[in-house]
Amino acid sequence: MTDWTEGPAIRIEKPKIKWRNFKIWILDQFKRKTWFKNFFITRNAWGAFSINSHINQHTGKPKITYNTLKTALKSAEAMSKKHNTHFSTYKCLFCDGYHIGKNRDNKTEYDRKPELEKIK
């Protein structure tokens, strides 16, 4: 993708899926009691393949990366208490870390605001 700004063209590299992380991610998904629901009913698990699983949609910058699942779980628990909603942890397919996030079923009004503005 080329960004046409004043001056010469700037090439912006999009992050690519690191397939070595796919193995870790898929094994983690199948350990979950809700794996079938996540893949075939709510389809939330497929979101891991979207660049938005690595990029914050509000800022366009990469999400906070946690080096271990343990630190991501601690942060998710703290965020859940602070915002009174469920946060999940997941292995990022684009980087070597873990991220925390919410799926569409547990978004808050703040999270839905950009979606609602598109409808208007």
Q: Specify whether the CB–CB gap between 18 and 93 falls below 8 A.
A: yes
Q: Residue 119: which pLDDT band, with cuts at 50, 70 and 90?
A: very low
Q: Specify whether the CB–CB gap between 25 and 91 falls below 8 A.
A: yes
Mean pLDDT over all residues of the chain? 82
By percentage, how much of the chain surpasses pLDDT 90? 55
Pairing between strand 2-3 and 10-11? antiparallel
Measured at the CA of 51, the angle between CA 103 and CA 33, to 5 degrees, comes to 40
Tokens, residue 84: 């009174």
pTM of whole model > 0.75? no
By percentage, how much of the chain surpasses pLDDT 70? 76
Structural domain boundaries in the chain: 16-119
Q: Which of 57, 69, 55 is nearest to 98 (CA)?
A: 69
